[in-house]
Structure 1
Amino acid sequence: MDLSKRYENLKSVIHQFDSVSLNEMNSVALMKRTDTKFIVNISYLTSILKELQKSYRVLEIKDKRIMDYMSLYLDTPEFKFYHDHHNGIVNRTKIRQRKYVDSNLTFLEIKQKNGKGETKKSRIKLKDFEADLSTSSKDFIFKITRQNFELKPSLWNRFNRITLVNLEDKERATIDLKLTYSSDNTEKSYENLVVIEVKQSKFDRTATIVKVLKKFNYLPYSISKYCIGVTHIYPNLKQNLFKNKLLKINKIIA
């Protein structure tokens, strides 16, 4: 089945879900949470979604359920954030600007991960992307990280996202597809890759989505969308510890 047909089937299934509004979803904001990722071949996504329909609602904004996102990641000239992840540093940071295109909202977001596997996200609203950080943005970054990083744009990322919400269990799941990375004149797209991220106060293996993914032989898999993009856009950077992850991704989406 060609990709365009898969997307048509996907849209059809998504519109069979009950919807949830942005305001309703705020009750499951989970700014401090455990994130658990799964990588899936898009050919299985429609079947997976059919089994989730009774337990989850889908975010809808202006009659749209598959949203457009854009991100601009920031890193130091030495790619500190990338190398921290590559080298297995448990207390690590990622800084990005993200535009929620359908809501016309842009945020500066800081994600901090600790040794317990918990992720804390802090953010402030921006007028638009800032290639050169404003004073208020720099002040916010220092307030959260207590460090004066020298930051520059490192990677652009575009993707589509479906957001599922279980209001009863205070749980969200994001489903990212059509991931495209770019910087200057270099671009890399993953048309068959789907990254599912389950966001919970703490990881619950009994959650419906986790059980359904296990049924399809998909188990939690730790990856960073940022780091995967960097390995393709900046092939000269150290990446030997990511090679097995790249092989795994290529095997799943083949």
Structure 2
Amino acid sequence: MAGHSKWANIQHRKGRQDEKRGKIWTKLIKEITVAAKLGGGDLATNPRLRLAIDKAKDSNMPNDNVQRAIQRGTGSLEGVNYEEIRYEGYGINGAAVIVDCMTDNRTRTVAEVRHAFTKYGGNMGTEGSVAFLFQHCGQLLFAPGTNEDQLMGCALDAGANDVITHDDGAIEVLTSVADFSKVQDALRTAGFQAELATITMRPETDISLEGDQAESMQKLLDVLENLDDVQEVFTNASIQ
């Protein structure tokens, strides 16, 4: 199944994240804390915690930081009580944006998110205004040159929902949220290491932006991602 170009956008995004490693660690600590609070500290029974710890390892976070976050989540250590909130809105040329936050102060967070949208050419929407344009799913992305037939067979046998080969040769495996860890484990065992492995809000269709529109949209996304209370930003904008 053919799809649009994916690899360059993913590499560009990863590069930007690497530049902000300190902020990424802060976001991951929040995610680990909340995942442990909601599902307990056992990785075998808490796939959300396992995924957060995998991301922490990929970001070279020290294990002591990870363990303290788990202890704060399970109550062994005192910590801040975070609330999860999602905001939805529109960016440049009507591109959809979802902003997932963790905060100890809802009033502060909504004011900062709304200000970012307003200042950088977007606008806040109501709950559910753009979420229907996205699929909540597991996503694994493999580099161009990966053996497509072997990967597809292994992924589908493990319970993946779809395998998409993009124009640039990147291969994307999509799973249900529940089956993500099972499929990832099966692919790792078979020797396939994903460049990106995450639970995401994946756009059903993309809006292509170029030139000034692309620059303005990237600025809005960067500002949102840099807010202290923002964990993830999802968009259907494909920035060229």
Q: Normalising by structure 2, what TM-score? A: 0.25
Structure having the larger proportion of residues in strand: 1
Structure having the larger proportion of residues in helix: 2
Q: Higher RCO, 1 or 2 (CA under 8 Å, sep at least 6)?
A: 1
